[in-house]
């Protein structure tokens, strides 16, 4: 909301203070129970994934090939309440280790891609001209290629793939959608009256960009970064599932756990729980990311969403 005051006989609009905007956005978000619940679930899942390696039992990933442990069905005894796989490893432990790796890679890739997208998209939107054409045509050149094909080629040249390499490759590809959103938002805000007024009063381009354009475009940027997290998780799991990404011998991820469970169930008759557990956790994360992202978009940009 804005307050109207009379200045020189004309009505002028006084922008709403930023803390008031944040409080109003938070109130809108809290009025959406589905989005809030999804956000809380995400926080709980990510916190568990972050701290699990520190609290896991010492023998949690031990391979036990005795008949007693191989393909043990779900039970309520000890850590094996969701059973064991075809190598006698505890399914819960493997899934949470996979969550830790996938979460670490996805969050870091999202952060790097968002920062790159904000920087390059902001330059393109604010400067325009040749800078805009150069940056956006460069992004379009990679954007027209299917993600799986492009990442397959990239992963082939950095073999063996590690968590760090996978994170950097994903970030270097996924900055493009963020840059497009930021560029469109900054280019739109650049023509607004308050920006032109600041420039006419002698404000430097840097001050206008960091004091006016970025804060006023923050809602669009945050929503774009939230939706990007879901894309990163899907891509990383898909590449690991097809054996292109992080191999299970290097690090356990949700994607290669699902692939290993599927292969094990086909070859050695592993139980259904080895496939369902990591797949269900991956689906839960994706659903919660999408629900929370939609609720956040409604709260931060209610007029546009309507």
What are the structure tokens assigned to 180, written together? 């497009």
- Give pLDDT tens digits for 33-48: 898 999 999 999 999 9
Token duo for residue 235: 């891509």
pTM metric for this prediction: 0.80
Q: Per residue in 149-179, pLDDT tens?
A: 777 777 777 777 788 888 888 888 888 888 9
Q: What is the pLDDT of residue 284?
A: 93
Tell me: pLDDT of 306 over 80. no
Average pLDDT, the chain: 79
Mean pLDDT within 85-95: 81
Residue 281: band (very low, low, confident or very high) from pLDDT cuts 50, 70, 90:
very high
Domains and CATH numbers, the chain: 26-305 (1.10.3720.10)
Res 293 pLDDT > 50: yes
Answer yes or no: is pLDDT of 60 > 80. no
pLDDT of residue 277: 87
- pLDDT over 60 (residue 79): no
Instruction: Please determine, for residue 133, whether its predicted confidence score (pLDDT) is greater than 70.
Output: yes
Name the range with the highest mean pLDDT among 36-45, 131-140, 233-242, 265-274.
Answer: 36-45
Give the phi and the psi of residue 294 in degrees, each rounded to 5: -65, -45
**What CA–CA distances, in Å, run from 84 to 89, 93, 118, 262, 268?**
5, 10, 44, 14, 13
In this prediction, residue 204 carries a pLDDT of 75
Return d(Cα 197, Cα 204) in angstroms, integer: 12
Does residue 9 carry a pLDDT above 50? no
């Amino acid at each position: 909301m804005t307050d109207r005051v009379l200045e020189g006989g004309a009505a002028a609009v006084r922008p709403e203070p930023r803390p008031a905007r944040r409080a109003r956005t938070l109130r809108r978000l809290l009025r959406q129970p589905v989005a809030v619940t999804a956000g809380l679930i995400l926080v709980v899942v990510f916190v568990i994934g972050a701290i699990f390696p520190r609290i896991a039992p010492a023998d949690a990933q031990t391979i036990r090939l005795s008949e007693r442990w191989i393909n043990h069905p779900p039970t309520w005894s000890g850590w094996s309440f969701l059973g064991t796989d075809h190598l006698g490893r505890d399914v819960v432990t493997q899934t949470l280790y996979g969550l830790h790796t996938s979460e670490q890679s996805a969050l870091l890739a999202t952060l790097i891609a968002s920062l790159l997208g904000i920087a390059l998209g902001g330059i393109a939107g604010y400067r325009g001209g040749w800078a805009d054409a150069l940056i956006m045509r460069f992004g379009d050149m990679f954007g027209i290629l299917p993600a799986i094909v492009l990442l397959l080629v990239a992963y082939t040249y950095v073999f063996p793939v590690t968590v760090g390499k996978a994170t950097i490759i994903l970030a270097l590809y996924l900055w493009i959608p963020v840059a497009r959103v930021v560029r469109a938002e900054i280019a739109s805000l650049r023509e607004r009256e308050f920006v032109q007024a600041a420039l006419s009063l002698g404000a430097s381009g840097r001050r206008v960009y960091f004091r006016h354009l970025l804060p006023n475009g923050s809602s669009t940027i945050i929503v774009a970064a939230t939706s990007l997290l879901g894309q990163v998780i899907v891509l990383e799991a898909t590449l690991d599932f097809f054996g292109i990404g992080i191999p299970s011998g290097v690090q356990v991820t949700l994607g290669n756990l699902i692939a290993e469970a599927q292969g094990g169930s086909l070859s050695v008759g592993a139980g259904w729980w080895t496939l369902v557990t990591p797949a269900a956790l991956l689906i839960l994360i994706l659903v919660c990311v999408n629900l929370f992202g939609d609720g956040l978009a409604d709260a931060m940009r209610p007029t546009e969403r309507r």
